Structure 1
């Protein structure tokens, strides 16, 4: 998997370097500040792709004593670096735009410049699509971040062509700086969200997509003796995940039966989630009242109360640090009376 990630990002590096040369050549021909904006962002593409390559290689290093969860979080750091570079580039582009408004320069060879920028936009569009698709398949935030950035670059190139065409046919050269300034704000906006996603991953912020995916898998393979699952946490380490959860089992199970159930839950998650999955399961014994009311074990030898209803597993109730009996309103009333 990591070899495929490295091969994809190497292609990204090579293509980004070629397009960087094409865009700067286009700027030299035209003298357009808007095209310079696009070229400067391509420098960020190249630097970010190199750092992405480094982070993917480092994330592939096996866990060791100093990094018991592996090196996967470097991918979040990589995405943060890329987002920061995008923001810096956007600020510099804004400065350059304001400077050009005060000191305008003549524009030349705009049709040829549009052709070159159009070519780079098509190539970036295809590359960005492939990177985002592979990033989702391989569960790599680095590939996704790089793909999103390059796709943004492709969109900006096509908008840029439209803007340059207006300048060419109207002769309003001041639009060159205005378009460049608008691109700068758009670039900063996208960079912010990359940094935000990076910080969320480094801070182990709950990821609804990861949790919902795990919940769907557990619901699909749910066994009747898995009375409930709660206190579930999903932590991402780049393309890998670490999952903690509490599994409630019949209290009369011996150690071997309990171990087998725990192993079943681990296998279900490890075999159906992308990347390397590490699962830690804490086994809890059931409590006859109230667990009997939603326990689906057939012919339970110690059942004290009939099954009332099946409780649906959701990301919300499986993430809470309590068994699911609190969802049965009438049981809460009974429990309060007993207290």
Structure 2
């Protein structure tokens, strides 16, 4: 089922992976008593919640436009990513509380090889799945999948740091390194949460399409607009996985409406071939609206 790699199935796969990783990390924490491993497990709880939210948001975003949402429901993914970022921040605060308490009252650690190996296996599972999600999120321009993947990737680096810190604590006998590492982990998680929130907030404020997408759109417009004189005021914006494109198309004043419409159809088809889930709006103008700066057809 997951091999089809549809966004909702990838999100469902994230939930299954997160639950598996959570079970592994809780096992590792129970076996070692490590506060740093506890912090690692706490972040995975956020992963589970984030996976549920992402799955629901992706399914909602796929709904067709309706009377109340004529442009679709694409931004549901952006809200999902912001919610996940908020959960990341909350997890960081909880980890800080636990770590600071442990700094004042350190607990003895049982650094069993089995426990650390279990946590390492969980980190490897996160690494593999994060690459799948980031790749799919980039290809599909999915904020929800990309946020989930980057969150998992930060979890991987967190696990690497925690395991390294515990290993160093075992070698030196400095037990305070464990809660200190948990504090550092909390700040790393806090930083990642802020990045996720900021990125999705930009999309909610109608940020432009990514530079590579804009270049593809411009090339498609120029290559398919033979018969027109100029393209200007080309603007793009992102909403979830969708990209909205609008521009002015200048044509000879004597051109018929039908001929101008044919050019518009050709341009829209060319953009559709290059960009998935794109919505194009073209405003046709006569030639006395030519501007000094604009794109010319190839």
TM-score by length of 2: 0.92
Does the 8 Å contact 1:125/1:155 carry over to 2?
no
CA contact (8 A) 1:70 1:237 kept: no
**How far has the Cα of 1:224 moved from its partner?**
4.4
**In the superposition, relative to structure 1, how do residues 3 and 165 fare at CA in structure 2: closer, same or farther (>3 Å)?**
closer
Q: Which residue of 168, 171, 174 maps to 1:172?
A: 174
| 1:217 matched residue in structure 2 | 220
**Range with greater deviation from structure 2 (114-123 or 243-252):** 243-252
The corresponding residue for 1:324 is: 292
Find the residue that maps to 1:61 and give its secondary structure.
coil
Partner SS, residue 235 of structure 1: strand
Q: Given the alignment of the two structures, is residue 277 of structure 1 paired with residue 245 of structure 2, yes or no?
A: no
Q: Is the 8 A contact 2:161 2:181 kept in 1?
A: no
Shift of 1:138: 2.1
> What's 2:101 paired with?
99
For residues 28 and 82 of structure 1, the distance between their equivalents in structure 2, rounded to whole angstroms, comes to 26
Q: Distance in 2 between matches of 1:168 and 1:110?
A: 10
**Bigger shift: 177-186 or 249-258?**
249-258
Query: Any conservation in 2 of the 1:69–1:237 contact (CA below 8 Å)?
Result: no
Aligned length: 291
Alignment of 1:68-83 (within 5 A): 68-83=70-85
Deviations 1:297-330 (A, max 9, x none): xxxxxxxxxxxxxxxxxxxxxxxxxx23499xxx
* 1:86 equivalent in structure 2: 88
- Structure showing greater radius of gyration is 1
What is the DSSP-based 3-state SS (H/G/I as helix, E as strand, rest coil) of the residue aligned with 2:6?
helix
Q: Is the alpha carbon distance of 1:27 and 1:326 closer, same or farther for their aligned partners in structure 2, counting shifts above 3 Å?
A: closer
1:140-159 equivalences in 2 (<5 Å): 140-159=142-161
CA distance in structure 2 between the aligned counterparts of 1:156 and 1:271, rounded to whole angstroms: 40
Contact 1:229-1:248 within 8 A present in 2 as well: yes
Distance 1:49 1:215 in 2: 35
Deviation at 1:3, TM superposition (A): 7.7
Return 5+ residue gaps in structure 1 as ranges: 292-322, 328-339
Q: Give 5+ residue unaligned stretches, structure 2.
A: none
Deviations along 1:210-258, whole A, 9 cap, x unmatched? 4344224334x25443322222222222112221111111222111111
Please tell me whether residue 228 in structure 1 is matched to residue 196 in structure 2. Answer: no
The Cα RMSD (Å) is: 1.9
Greater relative contact order, per chain length (Cα 8 Å cut-off, separation 6+): 2
1:67 Cα deviation (Å)?
0.7
CA displacement, residues 265-306 of structure 1 (integer Å, 9 cap, x when unaligned): 1111112102x2221100111139xx5xxxxxxxxxxxxxxx
Contact 1:72 1:238 in 2 (8 A): yes
Does structure 1 conserve the Cα–Cα contact (< 8 Å) formed by 2:233 and 2:294? no
